[in-house]
Amino acid sequence: GESVGLHLPTLSVQEGDNSIINCAYSNSASDYFIWYKQESGKGPQFIIDIRSNMDKRQGQRVTVLLNKTVKHLSLQIAATQPGDSAVYFCAEIKAAGNKLTFGGGTRVLVKP
Amino acid sequence: EPEVTQTPSHQVTQMGQEVILRCVPISNHLYFYWYRQILGQKVEFLVSFYNNEISEKSEIFDDQFSVERPDGSNFTLKIRSTKLEDSAMYFCASARLVSLNQPQHFGDGTRLSIL
């Protein structure tokens, strides 16, 4: 069946280091992938997205990489800050529809 | 920055009772969504809504669920006869357009607790 999943449930990182969050997907028909950040008590907040015809996209301190060969998506956060502590979800949108299908989430804990 | 607002932030209801969750999407957005997140689990799609009708719904969205846009600003989710397993965070989202570069913006959710 189709799925969007995450490799690690919790990632602890030292403040100032880089973070890498991984996500695997199984549906080749997905056309668009998004990373959302969810802080405690808040709704998912859009971080960055990437279309399936791209390999890499950069934002402010964040980079998303897409490897279609192995159906793998990653989010890199540069110089991780305490404010980056949250749960991060990958999500996909299939070409034919507009609902988001979320992965299971990775919790990032930033140590001072 | 405009945002999606949801009320109440926490709703406690007896099993079997009806509950209405309210959302005010971003004002120039045309597409509206409900998602839910059971504690410790991933966010799940419930329903999408455009032009005063349901565009798509998941298998979770059965006959006990309904959505409505009663006026130009509110978007509601009604659960007619709540069950214990309906306990979850319910998120409303909206998007300006259905296109791949128009992300869905989420509210902060309503925590629904069924007793």
Size of interface A-B (CB pairs under 8 A): 55
Give the pLDDT confidence of A5-19 residue by residue, as tens digits. 544 489 999 999 999
Interface of chain B against chain A, CB under 8 Å?
4, 31, 33, 35, 41-45, 48, 55-56, 58, 91, 93, 95, 98, 100-101, 103-109
Residues A80 and A19: beta-carbon distance below 8 Å: yes
Which pLDDT score, from 0 to 100, does residue A95 have? Answer: 64
pLDDT single digits (tens) A48-86: 999 999 999 999 999 999 998 898 999 999 999 999 999
Read off the pLDDT band of A97 (50, 70, 90).
low
Counting as low any pLDDT under 50, the low residues of chain B are: none
What is the 3-class SS of A44-86, one letter each residue?
Answer: CEEEEEEECCCCEEECCCEEEEEECCCCEEEEEECCCCHHHCE
- Per-residue confidence (pLDDT) for residue A26, from 0 to 100: 75
Do A101 and B41 make contact, defined as CB atoms within 8 angstroms? Answer: no
CA distance B13 to B101: 38
B59-68 confidence digits (pLDDT tens)? 999 999 999 9
